[in-house]
Structure 1
Amino acid sequence: ADFLRGLSPNGNTPKSLWMSGPSLSAEDQGAAASALAQSGPWGAHSCSSNCAPCQPIEVTQRLREMDGRLVKQDHQLRELIILNETQAGQLAELRRRVSVLEETVKDLEAQHCHGIFIWRLKGFSAHLRNQEAGLPVVEHSPGFYTGRPGYRLCLRLHLQTPMAPRCSNYISLFVHTMQGAFDGQLTWPFQGTIRLAILDQGPEGQHHMEVMETKPDLQA
């Protein structure tokens, strides 16, 4: 111990120790110098930035940073979900308004048809295939008005199946009255003449027309 206290910080042994201290062998002197060199000028308690005790602090700091980023991303995700739900509600409301406007336009067009309504029935070939297979085929036309003001009517098309007990393989066309915008201004029951025509789009052009007179005293 006296020998180590007498050593200088730079690892050199003072001459006074060599002169007055007890004599040491060459092996003891080498061991002492080696111990001093390994301990370093600041002693055994000094640590570098890469030593093991410092690593847990860096890991903890990184975990905190990652946790903060996750919290921020979670908030952003919640905001996006709320925004998506809001936009979905707005889109549904816009679709509803468009549907209402389309119905309004159709109703206005029906009021200005002046009693002449042309029903373009689409997909009639598919209806015929269903009829041949014995499936019931019933189609309703959009409503239309006989004038402005006028009665609101609609057409009903029925394709009779081959196995029908009556009128098999026939096309039945009916006229129905509907609740309209001018019912309070009209005379009831409905009276008038109705002309129905089925126009054949084939090359033969086998059209069929029928004129009907309403029967106010007939109970439906």
Structure 2
Amino acid sequence: MPAREDLLVAVLMAGLGTRFGGGKLDAPCMGRPLGAWALNTAQQFGAPVLAIVGPQAPDWLPADLRRVTNAAPAAGLGGSVALAARQALAADARMLLVLLADMPLVSPATLDRLVVLAAQHGMAATLHPDGRHGVPAAFAPPHFAALADLTGDSGARGLLRACPPAALVRPDPDELLDVDRPDDLPTVTAVLAARHQA
């Protein structure tokens, strides 16, 4: 597995949150902004962290956090993934780990497993309950160029479909809950509260 300093962890937070009604990552969630949970997990991973933000970045982001602006977030998730991959190429990173800021329940153990499997198989994805290969996901350098060319709203979905079964991580389904709409927030908050009481 690459040394942690050779990894780049990209937290994608440029989305407009239209189904939420805007301001999704700023929404209060267990005493902090929703988006801060995924960012905190990324920072605990022990590797350089990059935030892909929109033109109006959240004002709660740490001042020293490395960030790149996606000037056209409405064009879809693919543009944010492409920006992260270009940064990985420029940094000569040996692994790119991608996660979404609206998934606050992903564990460091899941991220660690993805990196281990991507080092073995070239990429690794999370297996979602509906059978989809998705994010969080990790990619080795041979895939950076393809990622850097992505556009549209499907992100790296097409590439991740090629993940072999041995490169899929199957976390607890709660980890993969995301917040798309306001009524998703109480469910995520309840899981976080239960974790902190355990």
TM-score, length basis structure 1:
0.20
Task: Specify the structure having the higher radius of gyration (Cα).
Answer: 1
TM-score, normalized by length of structure 2?
A: 0.21
| Larger RCO: 1 or 2 (CA < 8 Å, sep 6+) | 2
